[in-house]
Protein backbone atom coordinates (compact mmCIF):
# COMPACT_ATOMS: atom_id res chain seq x y z
CA UNK A 1 0.00 0.00 0.00
CA UNK A 2 1.00 3.60 -0.64
CA UNK A 3 -0.29 7.07 0.27
CA UNK A 4 0.05 8.99 -3.00
CA UNK A 5 2.71 11.26 -1.49
CA UNK A 6 5.59 11.33 -3.97
CA UNK A 7 9.00 11.18 -2.25
CA UNK A 8 11.37 11.21 -5.23
CA UNK A 9 11.47 11.96 -8.94
CA UNK A 10 13.27 9.12 -10.70
CA UNK A 11 14.75 8.98 -14.19
CA UNK A 12 14.21 6.06 -16.55
CA UNK A 13 17.74 5.23 -17.72
CA UNK A 14 17.15 1.92 -19.52
CA UNK A 15 14.19 0.18 -21.17
CA UNK A 16 14.64 -3.33 -22.49
CA UNK A 17 12.11 -5.85 -23.77
CA UNK A 18 12.99 -9.28 -22.38
CA UNK A 19 9.66 -11.06 -22.72
CA UNK A 20 8.40 -8.60 -20.09
CA UNK A 21 9.60 -5.00 -20.16
CA UNK A 22 12.58 -4.34 -17.87
CA UNK A 23 13.29 -0.81 -16.71
CA UNK A 24 16.15 0.73 -14.76
CA UNK A 25 15.27 3.83 -12.76
CA UNK A 26 17.81 6.23 -11.26
CA UNK A 27 16.77 7.44 -7.81
CA UNK A 28 17.84 9.27 -4.69
CA UNK A 29 16.69 6.29 -2.61
CA UNK A 30 19.59 4.50 -0.88
CA UNK A 31 19.86 0.98 -2.38
CA UNK A 32 20.97 -0.29 1.05
CA UNK A 33 17.45 0.45 2.32
CA UNK A 34 15.68 -1.34 -0.55
CA UNK A 35 14.99 -5.05 -0.17
CA UNK A 36 15.02 -7.34 -3.18
CA UNK A 37 11.34 -7.91 -3.98
CA UNK A 38 10.27 -4.61 -2.41
CA UNK A 39 7.38 -2.68 -3.95
CA UNK A 40 7.89 0.83 -5.30
CA UNK A 41 5.15 2.88 -6.95
CA UNK A 42 6.48 4.25 -10.24
CA UNK A 43 4.08 6.86 -11.66
CA UNK A 44 1.47 5.12 -9.52
CA UNK A 45 2.21 1.60 -10.78
CA UNK A 46 3.19 -0.84 -8.02
CA UNK A 47 6.31 -2.60 -9.33
CA UNK A 48 8.65 -5.15 -7.77
CA UNK A 49 12.36 -4.43 -7.38
CA UNK A 50 14.46 -7.20 -8.98
CA UNK A 51 17.90 -5.57 -8.69
CA UNK A 52 19.45 -2.41 -7.27
CA UNK A 53 22.84 -0.79 -6.96
CA UNK A 54 25.00 2.28 -7.47
CA UNK A 55 27.02 3.15 -10.58
CA UNK A 56 29.34 6.16 -10.69
CA UNK A 57 27.62 7.63 -7.64
CA UNK A 58 24.10 7.20 -9.10
CA UNK A 59 21.66 4.97 -7.22
CA UNK A 60 19.29 2.81 -9.28
CA UNK A 61 16.83 -0.06 -9.13
CA UNK A 62 15.42 -2.39 -11.78
CA UNK A 63 11.80 -3.50 -12.21
CA UNK A 64 9.98 -5.83 -14.58
CA UNK A 65 6.67 -4.67 -16.07
CA UNK A 66 4.23 -7.34 -17.22
CA UNK A 67 2.30 -7.07 -20.48
CA UNK A 68 -0.86 -6.61 -18.41
CA UNK A 69 0.62 -3.60 -16.61
CA UNK A 70 1.87 -2.12 -19.89
CA UNK A 71 -1.60 -2.48 -21.44
CA UNK A 72 -3.41 -0.84 -18.50
CA UNK A 73 -1.03 2.06 -17.89
CA UNK A 74 0.61 4.94 -19.73
CA UNK A 75 4.00 3.21 -19.84
CA UNK A 76 3.75 2.55 -23.59
CA UNK A 77 1.64 5.64 -24.42
CA UNK A 78 2.72 7.85 -27.30
CA UNK A 79 1.98 10.98 -25.23
CA UNK A 80 3.37 10.92 -21.71
CA UNK A 81 4.71 7.35 -21.81
CA UNK A 82 8.02 6.11 -20.47
CA UNK A 83 11.14 6.92 -22.48
CA UNK A 84 14.81 6.72 -21.60
CA UNK A 85 15.64 9.98 -19.87
CA UNK A 86 12.01 10.51 -18.85
CA UNK A 87 10.99 11.37 -15.29
CA UNK A 88 8.71 9.28 -13.05
CA UNK A 89 7.10 9.88 -9.66
CA UNK A 90 8.35 7.45 -7.01
CA UNK A 91 6.99 6.36 -3.63
CA UNK A 92 8.22 3.64 -1.29
CA UNK A 93 5.66 1.24 0.19
CA UNK A 94 3.85 2.36 3.34
CA UNK A 95 5.12 0.96 6.66
CA UNK A 96 3.06 0.46 9.81
CA UNK A 97 3.28 3.66 11.81
CA UNK A 98 4.02 5.90 8.82
CA UNK A 99 2.01 9.10 8.48
CA UNK A 100 -0.89 8.72 6.05
CA UNK A 101 -0.59 12.09 4.37
CA UNK A 102 -2.64 11.35 1.25
CA UNK A 103 -5.08 8.43 1.04
CA UNK A 104 -4.73 4.66 0.81
CA UNK A 105 -3.38 3.78 -2.63
CA UNK A 106 -2.89 0.25 -3.93
CA UNK A 107 -0.67 1.00 -6.91
CA UNK A 108 -3.08 -0.88 -9.19
CA UNK A 109 -3.86 1.48 -12.06
CA UNK A 110 -7.47 1.29 -13.26
CA UNK A 111 -6.99 3.01 -16.60
CA UNK A 112 -5.91 6.19 -18.32
CA UNK A 113 -7.15 9.73 -17.98
CA UNK A 114 -6.02 12.38 -20.45
CA UNK A 115 -5.23 16.03 -19.79
CA UNK A 116 -7.88 18.08 -21.62
CA UNK A 117 -7.09 21.57 -20.34
CA UNK A 118 -4.67 23.44 -18.07
CA UNK A 119 -5.24 26.96 -16.74
CA UNK A 120 -3.55 29.07 -14.08
CA UNK A 121 -5.65 29.55 -10.95
CA UNK A 122 -3.75 31.96 -8.72
CA UNK A 123 -0.39 30.31 -8.03
CA UNK A 124 -1.96 26.90 -8.68
CA UNK A 125 -2.78 25.15 -11.93
CA UNK A 126 -6.26 23.78 -12.57
CA UNK A 127 -6.13 20.66 -14.74
CA UNK A 128 -9.15 19.10 -16.42
CA UNK A 129 -9.06 15.42 -17.38
CA UNK A 130 -11.07 13.33 -19.78
CA UNK A 131 -11.96 10.05 -18.10
CA UNK A 132 -13.45 6.82 -19.54
CA UNK A 133 -17.16 6.49 -18.61
CA UNK A 134 -16.68 3.15 -16.78
CA UNK A 135 -14.31 4.91 -14.36
CA UNK A 136 -16.07 8.28 -14.19
CA UNK A 137 -18.81 6.90 -11.93
CA UNK A 138 -16.24 6.23 -9.20
CA UNK A 139 -15.01 9.85 -9.11
CA UNK A 140 -16.77 12.23 -6.72
CA UNK A 141 -16.49 15.93 -5.96
CA UNK A 142 -14.07 16.46 -3.04
CA UNK A 143 -13.11 12.80 -3.21
CA UNK A 144 -9.60 11.47 -3.78
CA UNK A 145 -7.95 10.12 -6.92
CA UNK A 146 -4.42 8.98 -7.66
CA UNK A 147 -2.91 10.47 -10.83
CA UNK A 148 0.60 9.35 -11.85
CA UNK A 149 1.05 8.22 -8.25
CA UNK A 150 0.00 11.56 -6.73
CA UNK A 151 -2.90 11.75 -4.27
CA UNK A 152 -5.13 14.63 -5.37
CA UNK A 153 -8.52 16.05 -4.40
CA UNK A 154 -11.24 16.33 -7.04
CA UNK A 155 -12.80 19.76 -7.57
CA UNK A 156 -15.64 19.29 -10.04
CA UNK A 157 -17.04 16.28 -11.90
CA UNK A 158 -19.07 15.86 -15.09
CA UNK A 159 -20.10 12.57 -16.74
CA UNK A 160 -16.88 12.55 -18.80
CA UNK A 161 -14.44 14.91 -17.03
CA UNK A 162 -13.10 15.98 -13.65
CA UNK A 163 -10.55 18.54 -12.52
CA UNK A 164 -8.02 19.08 -9.76
CA UNK A 165 -5.83 21.95 -8.57
CA UNK A 166 -2.05 21.56 -8.31
CA UNK A 167 -0.30 23.82 -5.82
CA UNK A 168 3.25 25.07 -6.54
CA UNK A 169 4.76 22.54 -4.09
CA UNK A 170 3.22 19.63 -5.99
CA UNK A 171 4.39 20.96 -9.35
CA UNK A 172 7.94 21.40 -8.02
CA UNK A 173 8.28 18.08 -6.21
CA UNK A 174 6.64 15.79 -8.78
CA UNK A 175 6.61 15.41 -12.55
CA UNK A 176 3.47 17.57 -12.76
CA UNK A 177 5.61 20.62 -13.46
CA UNK A 178 6.19 19.36 -17.02
CA UNK A 179 2.69 18.03 -17.75
CA UNK A 180 1.07 19.05 -21.04
CA UNK A 181 -2.37 18.97 -22.60
CA UNK A 182 -2.88 15.62 -24.31
CA UNK A 183 -0.70 13.63 -21.89
CA UNK A 184 -2.00 10.24 -20.83
CA UNK A 185 -2.12 9.88 -17.05
CA UNK A 186 -2.27 6.78 -14.84
CA UNK A 187 -5.55 6.85 -12.91
CA UNK A 188 -6.34 4.85 -9.79
CA UNK A 189 -9.77 5.41 -8.33
CA UNK A 190 -10.33 5.52 -4.57
CA UNK A 191 -10.62 1.98 -3.18
CA UNK A 192 -13.47 3.07 -0.90
CA UNK A 193 -15.46 4.28 -3.91
CA UNK A 194 -14.98 0.92 -5.60
CA UNK A 195 -16.33 -1.00 -2.61
CA UNK A 196 -19.28 1.33 -2.10
CA UNK A 197 -20.25 0.87 -5.76
CA UNK A 198 -19.96 -2.90 -5.41
CA UNK A 199 -22.14 -2.94 -2.29
CA UNK A 200 -24.81 -0.94 -4.12
CA UNK A 201 -24.68 -3.39 -7.03
CA UNK A 202 -25.07 -6.36 -4.68
CA UNK A 203 -27.97 -4.67 -2.88
CA UNK A 204 -29.83 -4.26 -6.16
CA UNK A 205 -29.45 -7.89 -7.18
Per-domain boundaries in the chain: 8-92, 111-203
Residues of the chain with pLDDT under 70: 195, 198, 202, 204-205
> Which CATH fold topology does 111-203 show?
Elongation Factor Tu (Ef-tu); domain 3 (2.40.30)
- Rounded-to-integer distance, Cα 122 and Cα 74, Å: 30
Pick the CATH number of 8-92 from 2.40.30.20, 2.40.128.20, 2.40.70.10, 2.40.50.140: 2.40.30.20
The residues near 199 (Cβ < 8 Å, ≥ 6 apart) are none
- Rounded-to-integer distance, Cα 32 and Cα 142, Å: 39
pTM attached to this predicted model = 0.92
Question: pLDDT tens, 165-175?
Answer: 999 999 999 99
- Report which secondary-structure segment, H or E, holds 71: helix 67-72
Amino acid sequence: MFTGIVTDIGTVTQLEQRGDLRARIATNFDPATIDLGASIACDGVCLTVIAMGTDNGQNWFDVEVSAESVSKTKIASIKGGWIEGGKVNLERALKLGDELGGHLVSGHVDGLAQIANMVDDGDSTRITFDVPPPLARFIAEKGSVTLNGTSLTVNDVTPTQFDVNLIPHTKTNTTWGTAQVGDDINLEIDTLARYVARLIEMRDI
